[in-house]
């Protein structure tokens, strides 16, 4: 069973004036996780007939191996850092194609989605270069 936090705009990475990186994080989706874990436990108890079933644990902030959602993308600069082509609002030549544009990873490894988006953005850049060359 795998679960993840739902997006929360207050969860973010910031940089202090002195260069210190700050991670602001508050877990979300805890009641849904507990319900899912209880359902899994009951199902395993019924199937295995055992009183002792290990259903995992919650990872803390040290278990963040697939960071997503650190740069939102969207059409409004007020609510997103990137436009729909993953270009920084207001910066003509800055594109971001890592996992930060994803609101969440769906509790699975997002690598293929990140690669597909990078190819999509690459196609956009090629079209843009051809348009400027013409």
Q: Catalytic residue positions?
A: 66
List beta partners, residue 21. Answer: 15
- Is 3 within 8 Å of 29 (Cβ atoms)? yes
C-alpha–C-alpha distance, residues 133 and 125, integer Å: 12
Give residue 82's Cα distance to chain centre.
14
Decide: 24 and 10 in contact? Cβ < 8 Å.
Answer: yes
113: how many CB neighbours lie within 10 A of its CB? 16
User: Which residues are paired to 87 by β-bridges?
Assistant: 95
């Amino acid at each position: 069973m795998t679960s993840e936090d739902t997006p929360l705009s207050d969860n973010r990475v910031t940089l202090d004036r002195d260069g210190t990186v700050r991670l602001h994080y508050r877990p979300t989706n805890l009641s849904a996780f507990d319900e899912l874990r209880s359902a899994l436990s009951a199902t395993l108890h019924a199937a295995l007939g055992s009183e002792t079933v290990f259903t995992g644990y919650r990872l803390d902030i040290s278990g963040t191996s697939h960071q997503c959602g650190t740069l939102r993308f969207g059409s409004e600069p007020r609510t997103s850092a990137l436009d729909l082509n993953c270009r920084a609002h207001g910066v003509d030549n800055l594109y971001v194609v890592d996992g930060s544009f994803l609101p969440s990873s769906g509790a699975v490894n997002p690598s293929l989605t990140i690669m597909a988006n990078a190819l999509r953005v690459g196609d956009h850049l090629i079209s843009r270069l051809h348009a400027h060359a013409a």
